Structure 1
Amino acid sequence: MTNKQKHKILIDLFMTIALLLLMLFQITGQQVHEYLGIMMLVLFLGHNVLNWKWYRHLFKGKYKLYRCIQTILNIGILMMMLGLGYSGMVMAQYLPFSISGSMSLVRRLHLACSYWGFVLMSMHLGMHLRQIVHMFKKYMYLKNNILKLVMIIISLCGIYCFIQNNMISYMLLINEFVFFDFEKNTFIVLLEYLSMMILWINIGYFITNKIKGFR
């Protein structure tokens, strides 16, 4: 494994943790949420710098199904991050810098981009999961069937949590106000979002396997 690959994995790991924590607003609170958002933007920039060749080859070569889906997903994530960065800086209360904008508009923008970003970034991770699994194959001791069963159970929990938390209504702005149950146990909230993240990671992994014919 090259140093560049190690740096990519490290940044992706921190981005995954940051993404999960950013969804836990009811636990972290406004101030921590803002600083996590800045950290996420910095990591995202680092991720793009390390993967600059993707942009260089964007208009080169043939576009097969997998590449089309991957490109749409990546562009979607870029748009979500731009929307989150802008709206976050307009709504910022604790950061030493901010920009002006329509509070009503950016609140809706931040809401939609947050939940779409959560789904798209989780799927993006899933679409690259096989590469990561291959790198660490010799460290994995669980039987394949057992691991699959665990992932199916977690994904089913993720579907339940996704519906129970009305995620679609936030993504489509059917509901413009997020309901936070501050009395819910912190560990339960963490497990809910973790299961939803794993759900979309598994969906991304499944799509990749089906399109590329991996077994």
Structure 2
Amino acid sequence: MIRNILNIAMTVLLLLIMDYRFTGNAFHESGGLVLALLFIFHNVLNRRWYTVFFKGRQSVRSVLMTLANLLLTAAMLTSFVTGVLISVTVFAPPGIRSDGLLVHDLHQGAAYASFILAAIHLGLHWDMLGAKLKNWLHIDGSSLGWIITGRIVAITVIAYGVYASFTHHIGDKLLLQHVFMEWGAAPSLWGFLIDYLAISGCYAGITYYLLYLLR
């Protein structure tokens, strides 16, 4: 239960701090600090995973999960370290701020990589999460109506998520490229939430279905 609450809290917080134009820099940095503490706590709770993931025979799902977890950890740590270096609020007093453009680019790229990898992580665990969700909502997952509805929703989310990935230049941001088109734009909060939830759902859904095909 604690792990599930922790995962939800980190996912929501990561979404909230993806664009500081809605929250301001102070909340962006404070939220990043809280996310770092939650991430450390999450790894402490799951420390046994680091001692056993190389032991025994590994399935395709286990290998993919190990790779996703290691990449996510590396991306999050890069985002945290670079966030400290470019801080103007939370870590500004110690005088360790860096104005280097490369550090800003690394911070943005690592943050978006963390966002995508968190979605992939969600897709790798969707069997378990989906079962819990169906049980909580008292849904008969074997019914034809639910299966058809679920497929339609999944296809819609994936299709729109691909579209939103291009409109928000996710690929450019992952490659540490500047996106000038968004500078000075007046963003829509609801549009941002819908688009980024769709992007997250897109990568989670693609991961789930690719894993399903690999089986």
Same fold per superposition (TM over 0.5): yes
Farther off after superposition, 117-126 or 182-191: 182-191
Q: From 168, 172, 176, give the equivalent of 2:175.
A: 172
Map of 2:143 onto structure 1: none
Shift of 1:73: 1.0
Say which SS state the counterpart of residue 182 (structure 2) adopts: coil
Are residues 22 and 53 of structure 1, via their aligned partners in 2, closer, same or farther at CA, if it must alter by over 3 Å?
A: same
Say which SS state the counterpart of residue 136 (structure 1) adopts: helix
Aligned mates of 1:170, 1:136 — CA distance in 2: 33
Map of 1:11 onto structure 2: 6
Maintained 8 Å contact 2:10/2:35: yes
Aligned mates of 1:181, 1:208 — CA distance in 2: 40
% identical equivalent positions: 26
Say which SS state the counterpart of residue 48 (structure 1) adopts: helix
Map of 1:134 onto structure 2: 131
TM-score (norm 2): 0.87
Say which SS state the counterpart of residue 11 (structure 1) adopts: helix
- Matched AA of 1:192: D
Aligned length: 207
Map of 2:47 onto structure 1: 52
Aligned mates of 2:177, 2:30 — CA distance in 1: 28
TM-score (norm 1): 0.87
Are 1:204 and 2:199 matched, yes or no?
no
Aligned mates of 1:58, 1:178 — CA distance in 2: 43
**Unpaired segments of 5 or more residues in structure 1?**
1-5
Say which SS state the counterpart of residue 25 (structure 1) adopts: coil
Map of 1:152 onto structure 2: 155
Map of 2:189 onto structure 1: 186
- Matched AA of 1:195: A
Farther off after superposition, 184-193 or 97-106: 97-106
Shift of 1:136: 3.4
Farther off after superposition, 130-139 or 69-78: 130-139
Farther off after superposition, 34-43 or 99-108: 99-108
Shift of 1:135: 2.5
Farther off after superposition, 200-209 or 104-113: 200-209
Map of 1:3 onto structure 2: none
- RMSD over aligned Cα atoms: 2.0
Farther off after superposition, 151-160 or 6-15: 151-160
Map of 2:76 onto structure 1: 81
- Matched AA of 2:209: F
Say which SS state the counterpart of residue 138 (structure 1) adopts: helix
Say which SS state the counterpart of residue 26 (structure 1) adopts: coil
Maintained 8 Å contact 2:123/2:205: yes
Shift of 1:47: 1.4
Maintained 8 Å contact 1:26/1:180: no
Shift of 1:200: 1.1
Farther off after superposition, 140-149 or 197-206: 140-149
Shift of 1:58: 2.7
Aligned mates of 1:92, 1:36 — CA distance in 2: 12
Maintained 8 Å contact 1:111/1:176: no
